[in-house]
Amino acid sequence: MTVNVVWFKRDLRLADHEPLSDAAGEIEPTILLYVIEPVRLNQPDTDPTHIAWELDCANELDKSLRKIGGSLRIVHSNIIDCLKQIHREHGINSIYSHQETGTTWSYERDRAVKKWCEREKVSWREYPVNGVVRGLKDRDLWKGLRDKRMRTSPISPPTRINTVGNEVVKPTLSSMGLTPRKLSHRPPPGEDAALDTLQSFLASRGELYRWRMSSPNQASHHCSRLSPYFSTGCLSIRTALSMTNQRKAKIREAEITEKRKSNWMKSLSSFQSRLAWHCHFIQKLEQEPTLDYLAMNEELDSRMVREYDKKIFSAWATGNTGWPFFDACMRQLISTGWINFRMRAMIMSVSSYTLWQPWRDSGLHLARLFLDYEPGIHWSQVGMQSGTTGINSIRAYSVLKQGLDHDPEGEFIKTWIPSLRQVPTEFIHEPWKMPLSIQKDVGCLIGDDYPSPIVDESSSRKAGVAKAYSARRSQESREASKRVYSKHGSRKRRARKNRPKPEQSTQTKLF
C-alpha cells in the first residue's frame, strides 16, 4: 500500500493543522516528516539558535504524536532526497503541507519539489497558512479574504493517526555541527507551552498590554510573548484569535454584571490588531519574495547610499554605542533573543538613520538574534524602519527621548549594563556628561569602563533624516512609491477622502 506524507514546516502543532487532519482521515498510512535542510543552514539569516529552538519544538510535537499512535520522522537532509527515499521504499500517493512564505531559497526549493512531484506523479496538496493569501497581485481583496478565513473555527487536533516506517536516528545540534548561543530566559518549547503562554496572557498578563507594551521594562511581562511560537507554528493565529474572542465574551458579561469597565477590552483589541498585522506583513513577502535583499522601493533605496563602516556597525551590533538605553536594549536582545516592538524599531532606525548603515547588514544581524525570526514580518519591518518603502512616514527614534519616556530612572539600563550600576540617575542616560570626579567615585570611567558615544546622536540622526527626505523628493522615488502603495499598501482607510493614508504619510514624527 502506498503512503501519504505530511511535511511539517513552520507548523509544528497538532491543533488547527488542516494538512494533518486531512491526511489522518485518509485510508493510507502516513509518514510525518520534519526536515532540517542543509541549504537553510547555509543562509545568512539562519542562526543555530533558531534550529535549536525548532528542534526542541519538533521533539515536543513528536511526543504529542506518539500519544495518538504516530511519530515524527525528523531528518537532516535535502527534502527531495528524503522524498525520493520514501517514494522508493513505500510509494508516495500524496504530500500534505502548508504553503510557506519565505525568502528566495524556500521559494526555489518549493519549485523544485513541485517539479519532482509532477515528474513522479505524486500529488502535493498545499494549504494556506494563517491569513496569508497566495496569488494576489495587490491588496484590494486581501483583508476580506483574511477576515473570512479567521471567522471560521480552528480545526480540532486528530485523535488517531496511522503512521508507518522505521524509526530513524534523529539529528542533534552536534551531528549538524551547530553551536547555538545560550539564551537566558528562553521560553519552553512546543504546542502545550504555546497554549499555556496564551492562557496566562489572556488570564492576567494581558490586562495592561496596551499601556505597557512600549516599555522594555514592562513589555517582557505584559506582551503576549507568543512570537517564537507563531514563527515555528506551535500555535495558529486563528486559535489565538478564537481564544481571545472567547475571553472577550466573558469579560463583556462580567462588565455588564459588575457594571464597571475594565482595561481588558482595549488591551485585547490592540492584541487582535497585532495578530492582523502578523498576516498583513507576511503578505508583503508573499507578494514580493525578494524583500530580504531588494528594497520594496529600489528607486528610493538607490538614492540613499548607506555605507558599511565596520567599527560603527560593530558598536551597534554588540550594544557598545555609548548610548546607555540603546546598548541596554541590544544587550537584552543578544541575551534573550527577544525585545519589544518599539525597541526593535528604535534599534533598526538607529542603524539606518543615525549611523547610516546599510539595512541588509543590520536586518541580517537582527534576524540571527531574534528567536522569533519570521522572514515576512522581519524584512517588511526592516524596510519600513529604514525608510526604503516610500509609503511609510520616516521614523527616526531619539535614543534619549525613548530612554526618558520608558526608563526614566535607568532601572532597565542598570539591569543590562553592570558597569553603569553605580551611576547617579541624573547621568544615567548621558554618562559622558558626568564630571571626572564622579566617574572616579562610582568606578565608571567613560571611554574605559563604558564606551564614549560613537557619534553625536542628535546631529547624526538629523543628518540621516535629511538625506532620507532628499532621496524621497525625487520624481522617480515618488513614482515608485505609488507603485509600492498600489501593490502593498493597507486598504483599510481607503474610503476617507483627503486624509493621508497611514502608510503614505510623509511627515516625520517625533519619536
- 35, 75, 213, 413: which one binds ligand FAD (CB under 6 A): 213
Are 253 and 366 in contact, with CB atoms under 8 Å apart? no
Phi, psi of 92 (to 5 degrees): -95, 130
Q: Please list the residues that pair with 96 across neighbouring strands.
A: 6, 125
How far apart, in whole angstroms, are the C-alpha atoms of residue 130 and residue 151? Answer: 12
> Which of 198, 377, 399, 468 is in the footprint of ligand FAD by CB under 6 A?
377
CA atoms within 13 A on the CB side of 319: 19
By CB under 6 A, residue 227 contacts ligand FAD: yes
In the chain, the largest separation of any two C-alpha atoms, in whole Å, equals 83
**Shortest spacing between CB 395 and ligand FAD, in angstroms:** 10
Pick from 418, 245, 250: nearest CA to 328 = 418
Q: Is residue 275 within the footprint of ligand FAD (CB under 6 A)?
A: yes
The number of angstroms, rounded, from the C-alpha of 59 to the middle of its chain's C-alpha atoms is 22
**Residue 227 or 297: which CB sits closer to ligand FAD?**
227
* Residue 364 found at the interface with ligand FAD (CB under 6 A): no
Pick from 21, 64, 224, 354: which binds ligand FAD (CB under 6 A)? 224
Residue 232 interacts with ligand FAD (CB under 6 A)? no
Do 45 and 103 touch, CB atoms closer than 8 A? yes
**Residue-wise DSSP of 438-463:** HHHHHT--BTTTBPPPSS-HHHHHHH
| Cβ proximity to ligand FAD, 8 vs 397, nearer residue | 397
* Stretch in the footprint of ligand FAD (CB under 6 A) among 141-149, 181-189, 372-380, 477-485: 372-380
The one among 142, 230, 359, 416 contacting ligand FAD by CB under 6 A: 230
75 has which bridge partners?
A: 35
State which residue, 374 or 503, has the beta carbon closest to ligand FAD.
374
Asked if 444 is part of the footprint of ligand FAD (rule: CB under 6 A), the reply reads no
The residue within the footprint of ligand FAD, chosen from 107, 116, 277, 313 (CB under 6 A), is 277
The answer to the question of residue 348 lying near ligand FAD (CB under 6 A) is yes
Q: Is 344 one of the binding residues for ligand FAD (CB under 6 A)?
A: yes
Nearest-approach distance from CB 29 to ligand FAD, in angstroms: 35
- Parallel, antiparallel, or unpaired for β 72-76 and 3-8? unpaired
CA dihedral 335, 340, 344, 347 (to 10 degrees): -60
DSSP state of 466: H
The helix or strand, by DSSP H or E, that contains position 76, with its residue range, turns out to be: strand 72-76
User: By CB under 6 A, is residue 352 in contact with ligand FAD?
Assistant: no
**Contact stretch for ligand FAD (CB under 6 A) within 184-192, 308-316, 340-348, 445-453:** 340-348
Residue nearer to ligand FAD on the CB measure, 8 or 338: 338
Looking at beta carbons only, is 331 or 344 nearer to ligand FAD? 344
> Is residue 119 within 8 Å of residue 150, measured between CB atoms?
no
Applying CB under 6 A, which residues contact ligand FAD?
213, 223-227, 230-231, 274-275, 277-278, 281, 340-341, 344-345, 348, 370, 372-374, 377-378, 381-382, 385
